């Protein structure tokens, strides 16, 4: 029997700014943010034929493995493609979990694409985005994997012309769990004076003054150590630093090739990209 192995590397995303604009009639919140991909990755291995097994290594993945989004992605396609064979899945988890970096959503989106490619299902990019949306509001982003301006609950995405390849990034993950519902309860929604779609078009050096994350003001009083991380990034030379999503990971943007010699001495997990 011939076994086929595909290995892909689902990447993370960061939020550049996040505004809670209004409370919706359905109980959710109207948001605006900018998603941007970064090359901090997990490793996803898909082996066929298999027995629909799922194993992990690296960072421990909480919860029942049967509910993992990678398996849910397989089951979702199986509903429409009856001949889709069972596979063995191994996920090496490197992107911090519950950090606002979208790692689980990325794993699911890459699983959809891998199955489509391996078994030549002929699913168009538009159809893949629809499948991804059924798995989570962040998942469609990772099908295109390009900078977008996101509204609604984060699922309405419009491409933006944003290239940050001339900058370096530092991600700091303090391992603090932020309950999203609690964080939302501490925010008074408001329409920003300047939309993120306009702010993001300004030079990166100006972002410190014009791009903000509403969750910071909500959670910093309860977790002052998060404010200290932001201050540390600026003290190290970041031109922009902020919490990603509802946290608790932070991103610092630095001049290109300037991060090799810096010491982000926070005592937390640090990734330099």
Q: Which residues are catalytic?
A: 13, 138
Nearest to 224 by CA among 151, 164, 174: 174
The sign one gets for the Cα dihedral 162, 129, 65, 247 is: positive
Tokens read off for 185: 């309860």
Nearest to 264 by CA among 216, 256, 220, 272: 272
Distance CA 233, CA 169 (A): 10
Q: Percent helix, strand, coil in the chain (nearest 5)?
A: 30, 30, 40
Q: H helices of the chain, where?
A: 69-80, 103-118, 125-135, 141-144, 180-185, 196-199, 207-210, 214-219, 224-235
């Amino acid at each position: 029997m011939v076994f086929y192995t595909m290995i892909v590397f689902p990447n993370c995303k960061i939020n550049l700014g996040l505004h809670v604009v209004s409370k919706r009639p359905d109980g959710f919140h109207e948001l605006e943010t900018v998603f941007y991909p970064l090359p901090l990755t997990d490793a996803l291995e898909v082996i066929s034929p298999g027995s629909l097994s799922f194993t992990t290594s690296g960072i421990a993945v909480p919860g029942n493995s049967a509910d993992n989004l990678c398996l849910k992605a397989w089951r979702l396609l199986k509903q429409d493609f009856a001949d889709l064979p069972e596979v063995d899945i191994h996920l090496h988890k490197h992107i911090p979990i519950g950090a606002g970096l979208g790692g689980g959503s990325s794993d699911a989106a890459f699983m959809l694409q891998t199955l489509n490619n391996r078994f030549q299902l002929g699913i168009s990019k538009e159809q893949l985005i629809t499948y991804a949306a059924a798995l989570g509001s962040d998942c469609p982003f990772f099908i295109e994997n390009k900078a977008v301006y996101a509204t609604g609950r984060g699922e309405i995405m419009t491409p933006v012309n944003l290239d940050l390849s001339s900058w370096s990034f530092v991600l700091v993950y303090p391992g603090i769990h932020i309950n999203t519902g609690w964080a939302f309860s501490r925010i008074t929604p408001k329409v920003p004076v300047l939309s993120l779609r306009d702010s993001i078009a300004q030079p990166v050096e100006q972002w410190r003054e014009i791009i903000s994350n509403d969750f910071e003001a909500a959670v910093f009083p309860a977790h002052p150590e998060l404010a200290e991380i932001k201050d540390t990034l600026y003290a190290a030379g970041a031109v922009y630093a902020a919490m990603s999503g509802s946290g608790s990971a932070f991103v610092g943007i630095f001049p290109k090739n300037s991060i090799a010699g810096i010491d982000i001495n926070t005592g937390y997990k640090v990734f330099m990209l």
